[in-house]
Structure 1
Amino acid sequence: MLGNLELTADGDLGRLIGWRGARAHLHLLDNHGRGLNDLAGTVQGIDNIEVSNGRPKLYEAWVEQSFASGRVSVLLGLSDLNANFYQNDSAGLLIAPAFGIGSELSATGPNGPSIFPSTAMTARLNVTLGASSYFRAAAVNARAGVLGDDAGVELSLRDGALLIAEAGTTRGGKLAVGAWRYTRRQDDLRATDSAGNPVRRIAMGAYALIDQRLAGDDTRGLDLFVRAGISDGKTTSFVGGFQAGVLARGLIPGRPNGQFSFGVAHGMLSRGFRDTLRDEGGVAESAETGIEITYKDSSAPFLAVQPDLQYIHRAVPGGGRRGTLVLGVRIIASFARQ
């Protein structure tokens, strides 16, 4: 059993202290329970709230300043990278981690990039172009760390930074392309120099995504998402992958809050990861594929129930099993006050 408790607060600093065009965000997080992914034996994971070390922590704390009538903004502070980059709204109902951010990016960095469950100090620029286009870029501390983690907030930049940029349009949904690169070299998974030390390489990658409304509206409609990403594949376990799926709202008559989603996540393993596993006596296929079906509906104004079914064709077989079937249910209680 996994648990996720969140407390968020947003403030208009113009109304609160007279700081015009500025707003602040605070996000506290507490997770408990682990081991479901180990039981499933998957590489990409099966639940996006599982953490290796559950504890209360400060997840986000940032201030954003707007300029040019809101068309330009600058954000500084602890920020979730996936809130602004490599993100599909239509994939948000799915529980498997790969639908949140591509595995080839989520597996990078000295301890993972600035995503759940630990963020990093971020400087982000966002520019709105015309009626529906945008460009955004960010420099993010390569080592994530927040209050509540063992080392606390990481400020030294001793591991360099992750640079990322995305451009796209929100007309009819979202169409975007992005690229990322670390400023400091990281150890190759396999290659060594003449002294036997790991070769140091710059990790980098790119992605593209489509998120479009096929029919209907926000109350009763059908959305489609497709996205794909690649990386250099030398310093992490993934060289690329893709995710695709649909989100249907109001599918069942008389259940206006019901949402149904179906998705496929395909993660391609790097040669270095597979060779290392082989040296340890294991074996891995070139990719892992997961299929997820889920439905969420409200049983009360503050309570929602979400049954979830996943089948994963495992890249790394365990006990002779190539496939894993996972059945679960997520219960969401939410309260808001303005």
Structure 2
Amino acid sequence: MSTRSVFTLAATLLASILVSPAAAQLSSDCNPLNATCSPDPALGTSHTFYFNATPPTGTFNTTAGTVDYSVDEGAAFTISKKGESPTLISNFYFFFGKTEVLLKAAPGQGIISSIVWSSDVLDEVDWEFMGGNTTHASTNYFGKGEPDFKNAGYHPVNGSVQDDYHNYTSVWTKDKLEWYIDTVHIRTLLATDANNTLYYPQTPMKLSLGIWAGGDPDQPKGTIEWAGGVTDYAEPYTMYVKSAYVQDYSTGKEYSYDDHSGSWESIKIATGNSTAYENLNKVPEKTLSEKWNDLPSSTKSGIYAAAGGVGAIAFGLLAFYYIKQRRSGKQEAALAPMPRRD
């Protein structure tokens, strides 16, 4: 690693101790730590989302910008002006599980590409990529929204995080969290090491994929320093995601909190198929060609015969009309006055 890279990484590590911008970005419409909230819709299955096209109906929402899709690059999250932070947020939650995201981070000073798990009680698990650092990925976690700024880890990545797609995997159980880069294990967090499980992420999570400007001039000074400096909006910055595999280790329709503890033991699982499961396994409507191919031969023969009969009738009517018109024309010619001869 070059001397400049060493100093850059050291500065980043120092800034991470002083500020936690990721935690500042999250909020909860209803926090079960102090309120009774509606159940969270479960994933209740496993699925690989390929972002060469719009995600299946009802699985993700797009916020704070536009996400474009292409066969070659996958989903493109672009910041082209101040105020944009395009993000895909899942409509489903998973309760312990695994995600594998194939991602190429965005360049740009102050630009942050991210993979975030977040819960209603503000448990959180992160991958973050700083636009000014092409060689490292950051991992982080928070429990119940507590701003503990010493949880971040920085990990070297073989090849550029901005020029190549890499597989960023997180595996989560009630006992431990593990992070992997391109199938190589890089970090483990034991539940007992997170303030004796109190701040260990342990409640149903939704998945967010997005990009934001930590270097926006309106951000707090500490966030701008952590992100690598002030963002210049003179050019666009794009993060790409080809696919995301999500596995819910629980099965059921929805998750609810039985008390205000924020403990995994308080989570109740409603039985049944989730909305996400139904959407992902919905049989697509058949095309006209497929419907035709499914018809019995006898039905097809009947349709052919009926079509032939209709064609014959139409031809007969056309011939009758033609003959009638000819006769009418002859009658008109016969009744017409003869021209005078001088």
TM over 0.5: no
Question: Which has the larger share of helix?
Answer: 2
Q: TM-score, normalised by structure 1?
A: 0.21
User: Which of 1 and 2 has higher RCO (CA within 8 Å, sep 6+)?
Assistant: 2
TM-score by length of 2: 0.21
* Greater Rg by CA: 2
Larger relative strand fraction: 1
